[in-house]
Copies of this chain bind each other. A is one copy, B any other.
Amino acid sequence: MSDATQTAFDQLCDYSRETALLSSIEGLLGWDERTKMPPRAGQYRAEQITYLAGKIHRRWTDPRLGDLLGELVGSPLAEDRHSDAGATIRQLQREYDKRNKLPQTLVEELTRTSVLGQQAWEKARAADDFASFRPILEKTMGLKRQEAEALGYEECPYDALLDQYEPGELTSNVAKTLAGLREELVPLVAEIRDSGRQGPVDILHRHYPIETQRAFGSRAAAAIGFDFERGRLDVTSHPFCSGMGPHDCRITTRYDEKFFPGALFGILHESGHGIYDQGLRTEQFGLPPGEYVSLGIHESQSRMWENLVGRSRAFWEFFYGDAQQAFPEALADTSLDDFFFAINDVRPSLIRVEADEATYNLHILIRFELEQALINDELPVADLPGAWNEKYRDYLGIEPPSDADGVMQDVHWSAGLIGYFATYSLGNLYASQFFDQAGEDLGDLDEQFRAGDFARLRSWLQQNIHQNGQCYTAAELVERITGKPLSHGPLIAHLREKLGPLYGL
């Protein structure tokens, strides 16, 4: 390899790191906007974020970057596409190509609308007033359609948006995967309904003081491995995880004094995201080998810690004594069996982020279908609340009492995140498939959890997933780790194994 090639590669890395520095600053602006910013500062914050997004886009479309990539794409450094250098060149080229299809003005308009859309959503949701949210959502959908057309697609406009979150994935594939999952889920949910049994969920609606929830949640997050020296936990109406530096990953949750699982499983979920972020190679920060693969893989990490670990009996065999001490009023006289059944209760519900493991994917299916209709211009935004409620009746048999707890419950659409929801269900599937493999590699995971040992699973995830960054695609990664392509089998098996005894199936 020539010195010139190495020099070009070093320049490429410096260039990418500088762009990442700007993105990390944008990350802080976004985090602050959602957690701390004074109410009237929103308009100027939108200008700040838009300005940075414009700068970042200009860097991604700069011919200097194209020239460097041109020198490197056919070079020996790019030959092994899974090496750090190969992945760096491949992924930066991919992003460069995509970004160059987007006009600067569209990028800035999308950014500004996203920030203002979230602010409008916050207010509209609090006031249960979809009408006040509708204009900016219409604008967002129009801009997203423009974005899809500019990016181009294989089969349908939605492909272009999906590809931003789950690179290389097609709408038709996801639809097939979710249909397969649904075919197994619907009978399972019906069997559960017909069992006549119900989890004693009233336990979860007792009095759980918020400050104690915060402290208990923080202990649990630290126990599974979220590093508070390199992160923090705050409160927002819509929980999220945001990385803004190699040692700065922040998670949020929301508390309800009368509902225990909301904050706790939210914290475990976001901690799972955070543990992925904190498990990336810091020396590769700002370069593809130091970045997450796809949102589906990201979600596999959050779902694993939230559900496969956090809702396991073994986890609570370790933590339940602590929980009883922390919440004596609610739990002192409650058996572990009852508590375990309650947190694994399956029943159709309104709020996606509080849904049980089984029905959760029906929430996703609803959004996935509505998004496609919105982007394909088959559903006007004005008709969205009605369409939403109709699907909730059809798929889950329930009727949202308000738009705030219906169509406006999620931040995503307000922020222009269209094509994002499907990755949640993909994450559930990835999670179960990875978890089975971890069990094969590490021996009895339950035994480890029962002893409060979560480090072995975390190390396994770090080694097999986090440390690879983007050196493998999501599909390659699942094949490489488990020897099989993605399937809904492990998730269904896991659900039947856990829920079978509870419901006597």
Contact = CB atoms under 8 A, between A and B. Distances in A.
Nearest to A43: B247
A231 interface: yes
A250 B36 CA distance: 10
Total copies of the chain? 2
Interface string A232-273: 100000000000011110100000000000000000000000
B41 A21 contact: no
A115 to B, nearest CB: 13
A45 B245 contact: yes
Interface string A36-62: 111111011101100110000000000
Nearest to A22: B51
What range describes how many residues of A lie at the interface? 20 to 34
Nearest to A44: B245
Contact of A44 (B38, B41, B246): B246
A386 to B, nearest CB: 35
Interface stretch (A25-33, A295-303, A411-419): A25-33
A228 interface: yes
Among A28, A32, A230, A232, the most chain B Cβ lie within 10 Å of the Cβ of A28
Interface in A89-144: none
A230 B32 CA distance: 14
A194 interface: no
A40 to B, nearest CB: 4
B32 A48 contact: no
A43 B24 CA distance: 13
A48 B229 contact: no
Contacts of A247: 38, 40-41, 43-44
Contacts of A37: 248
A47 B14 CA distance: 14
Contacts of A44: 24, 245-248, 285
Interface in A413-462: none
A106 to B, nearest CB: 21
Nearest to A51: B21
Contacts of A228: 38
Given A28-B28, A32-B32, A230 B40 contact: yes
A270 to B, nearest CB: 15
8 contacts: A21-B48, A21-B51, A24-B44, A25-B29, A38-B228, A38-B232, A38-B248, A44-B247
The 10 closest A-B pairs by CB, nearest first: A41-B248, A44-B245, A40-B247, A41-B247, A40-B229, A40-B230, A39-B229, A41-B245, A38-B232, A38-B231
